[in-house]
Amino acid sequence: MSVIKVGYLISYDFEFVKNSLPRVYPFIDEIYFAVDIEGKTWSGEEFSIPDSFWQWVKEFDTENKITIYKDQFYVPGLMPMECDTRERNMLGKKMGKADWYIQIDSDEYFIDFEGFLANLEKLDPNVPTTVLCRVATLFKAVPGGYLLINGETLEALSFATNNPVYDYARNNTSGNVSKFSEDLVVHQSWARTPEEIRLKLNNWSHKHDFNTDSLYNLWNAVDQYNYRSLSNFHPFVNNSWPKLMYIEGDIQKILDDLQDNGIEKLTEPYKVKKKPLLSRIWKEIKAK
């Protein structure tokens, strides 16, 4: 049986891990929370995590699986993406010896994590590999439900590797074989309050890749009545956000529906293709 460890990056969006962690916790023996020791984002902005959150972690961690790893993850002079990549490498080293290293952001929710682990066991552990999963991205919470980024294919993001040498966030573009998994992750990326969206845009690793004010204004204007008017609106990756669709229910209902029925029921009438959408970085890999 492979030794598999999970690492979370805990920052200003710490509350979302309360949705993510329960879907992972029963299946993993070692889980690491990486937290900036000075309470700074990758852009150097300060954030605080209340004691009540850490009390929740303590009460939830009934089997003492969680290690809190505090270090200096913001470095003045580095770009946010450089800080992102640096933290992920530091976390990988902190996790120690393992066959597979899985890194999950707080707002990412595996639908069938146990099934994902079973699929990892089928891969050759001797081949340096990065495993990408399908990702269904929530764009905005609206009355009664959410707006989901909808297209003929789903985005793919890196989650697991047996060679934790990262050179672009969670990606390894310098030698790992890329394996695309059908396992599904829901990303609550943009389904946040206006204040949380502002904080995200000002502090995430892509903040210098596009006009953040423009995207915020667009996000703020979208609602359950006008969302159909948007098309191909991703700020820097062409055709990766073709349109939006409305899905009913709170986050737990959506996750339960996916667990029971799969993505096809949630996102009717479009169908998911076998090959997931490649992000810009993976298109560059293919071109080499």
Q: What are the pLDDT digits (tens) for 207-218?
A: 777 888 999 999
> pLDDT for 142-154, tens place per residue?
999 999 987 666 7
Per-residue tens of pLDDT for the chain, all 288 residues: 899 999 999 999 999 999 999 999 999 999 999 999 999 999 999 999 999 999 999 999 999 999 999 999 999 999 999 999 999 999 999 999 999 999 999 999 999 999 999 999 999 989 999 999 999 999 999 999 999 987 666 789 999 999 999 999 999 988 899 999 999 999 999 999 999 999 888 887 777 778 889 999 999 999 999 999 999 998 888 777 889 989 899 999 999 988 888 776 555 443 333 333 344 444 444 444
Asked if 176 contacts 127 with a C-beta cutoff of 8 angstroms, the reply is no
Round the CA-based radius of gyration of the chain to a whole number and report it.
Answer: 18
Alpha-carbon distance 89 to 93, whole Å? 6
Distances (CA, A) of 242 to 38, 155, 215, 233: 39, 11, 15, 7
Question: How crowded is the C-beta side of 87, counted as CA atoms within 13 Å?
Answer: 35
Q: Is 54 helix (H, G, I), strand (E, B) or coil?
A: helix
Residue-level pLDDT at 120? 96
Alpha-carbon distance 105 to 96, whole Å? 19
Asked if 258 contacts 266 with a C-beta cutoff of 8 angstroms, the reply is yes
Give the β-pairing of 66-71 and 108-110: unpaired
Q: Quick check: bond before 269 cis, omega within 30?
A: yes
Percent of the chain with pLDDT over 70: 90
Residue-level pLDDT at 283? 45
β-strand partners of 30: 5
Residue-level pLDDT at 270? 34
* Closest CA relative to residue 99, chosen from 124, 135, 71: 124
* CA 256 to chain CA mean position, Å: 19
Residue-level pLDDT at 153? 67
- 26 burial type by CB count under 10 A (0-12 exposed, 13-18 middle, 19+ buried): exposed
